[in-house]
């Protein structure tokens, strides 16, 4: 649906993005994973035209877009970095300002406010909002003109656990509604819980698009929880079928060398009581 080819951006002597090339499939939740300073935010700002001076090509539905093409704003909704609004105005007034320039009927404001569960606080000034509420209002403004693609820059950043759960639920609902969502994050958990596909940014470079389910199938990492971890670790270390990686809070992270992990593990730890055995993604390796 959306292809990026050789996207590059330089800040004077610093190369922030170096030939970024990847694709975003339709109706996916696409994660751009990367550590702070990896170039995620710079990339996110190129699409809406916040950054003017860049090179490369963007294809949308197989059509090459010109630089800062209006389609990138017509069909896309953005929440770039932290949510910022006119704090001295109410949430509704803020959305009215944005609806006016997007030629959106004001009735749509009620719909998006309802969607992010802010209807009852819509007349309050934004300055009185918590960070989580501002983040939800940020999603509301991005959805105001009913875009096909939603671009969210670190949507879970700064949210408390309840806020994160709300955000995850909201993003999954949007996918169910047929939207394609592209989000950036430095948090592996966000990608594991939310994304269908992802790419990893590192020092201005990126990996190819990876399907999370493919990546999960390929992963050979498992997490064990057992009654006697010390005994289990010594047994795993002596085994040829498993490699011990580390342990945390009585959980043991291992790498399996066999295709029949669960039966082999049951056989190896038959004297120990296994509480839980689950497959773990190996996203950390991409960093």
Partner 1 sequence: MINLFYNELLKAFYKRRTYISFILISLLIPAIVYAIDYGAVSLETKIYGQMQDSFIFIGSIINGYLSAYLIIAILITHMPFLSTIIPSEIISGEYSKGTFRIYLTRAILRRDVFFAKVFVVFLYTSMMMFYFFLYSLIISYFILGDGELIVFHKGILLLSEDDIIWRFMLGFIFSNFVMITVASLCLFFSSFSKNSVTPIISTISIVFVGSAISFIPIDIFELIDPYLFTGYIDIFLLAFHYPVPNEIFINCFLVCFSWSFLFILMAYFNFTNRDILE
Given the rule CB under 8 A, which residues bind partner 1?
45, 48-53, 70, 73-74, 78-89, 93, 97-98, 100-103, 138, 141, 145
Q: Smallest distance, Å, CB 83 to partner 1?
A: 8
Q: Measuring CA to CA, which residue among 225, 267, 227 is closest to residue 247?
A: 225
From the CB of residue 262, how many other CB atoms can be counted at a distance below 10 Å?
13
Please state the closest distance from residue 41 (CB atom) to partner 1, in A: 9
What is the rounded CA–CA span in Å between residue 56 and residue 58?
Answer: 7
CB of 179 to partner 1, least distance (A): 16
Residue number with CB closer to partner 1 (89 or 274): 89
Q: In terms of CB distance, is 10 or 258 closer to partner 1?
A: 10
- Where would I find the beta strands (DSSP E) of the chain? 2-11, 14-24, 29-34, 55-60, 63-65, 76-79, 149-153, 180-185, 197-202, 205-206, 210-211, 221-226, 242-248, 251-256, 274-280
Q: How far apart are the first and last CA of the chain?
A: 26
Annotate 12-62 with DSSP letters as a single string: TTEEEEEEEEEEE-TT-EEEEEE-TTSSHHHHHHHTTTS----EEEEEETT
Question: How far apart (Å, rounded) are the C-alpha atoms in residues 109 and 159?
Answer: 24
Question: Would you say 148 or 221 has its CB closer to partner 1?
Answer: 148
Q: Would you say 4 or 85 has its CB closer to partner 1?
A: 85
Length of the chain: 287
Residue 236: CA count within 13 A, CB half-sphere: 27
Burial zone of 269 (CB within 10 Å; 0-12 exposed, 13-18 middle, 19+ buried):
buried
Q: What's the min distance (Å) between Cβ of 113 and partner 1?
A: 15
Shorter beta-carbon distance to partner 1: residue 80 or 252 = 80
Minimum Å gap between C-beta 167 and partner 1 is: 18
Contact by Cβ (8 Å): 137, 163: no
Residue number, 90 or 256, with CB nearest to partner 1 = 90
Q: Smallest distance from the beta carbon of 235 to partner 1, in angstroms? A: 54
Cβ at position 21, least distance to partner 1 in Å? 22
Residue (34 or 138) nearer to partner 1, CB = 138
């Amino acid at each position: 649906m959306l292809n990026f080819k050789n996207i590059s951006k330089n800040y004077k002597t610093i190369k922030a993005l170096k030939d970024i090339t990847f694709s975003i499939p339709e109706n996916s939740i696409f994660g751009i994973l990367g550590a702070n300073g990896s170039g995620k935010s710079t990339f996110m700002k190129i699409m809406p035209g916040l950054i003017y001076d860049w090179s490369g090509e963007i294809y949308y539905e197989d059509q090459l877009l010109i630089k800062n093409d209006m389609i990138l704003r017509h069909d896309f909704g953005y929440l770039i970095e932290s949510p910022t609004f006119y704090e001295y105005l109410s949430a509704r007034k803020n959305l009215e300002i944005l609806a006016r320039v997007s030629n959106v009927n004001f009735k749509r404001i009620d719909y998006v406010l309802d969607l992010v569960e802010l209807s009852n606080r819509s007349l309050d000034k934004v300055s009185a909002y918590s960070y989580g509420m501002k983040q939800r209002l940020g999603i509301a403004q991005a959805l105001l003109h009913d875009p096909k693609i939603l671009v969210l820059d670190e949507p879970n950043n700064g949210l408390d656990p309840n806020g994160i759960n709300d955000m995850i639920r909201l993003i999954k609902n949007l996918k169910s509604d047929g939207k394609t969502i592209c989000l950036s994050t430095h948090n592996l958990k966000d990608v594991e819980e939310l994304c269908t596909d992802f790419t990893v940014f590192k020092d201005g470079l990126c990996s190819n698009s990876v399907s999370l389910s493919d990546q999960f199938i390929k992963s050979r990492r498992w997490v064990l929880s057992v009654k006697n971890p010390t005994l289990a670790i010594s047994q795993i270390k002596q085994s040829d079928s498993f490699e011990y990686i580390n342990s945390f809070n009585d959980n043991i992270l291992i790498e399996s060398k066999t295709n029949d992990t669960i039966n082999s593990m049951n056989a190896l730890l038959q004297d120990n009581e296994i509480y839980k055995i689950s497959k773990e993604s190996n996203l950390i390796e991409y960093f």
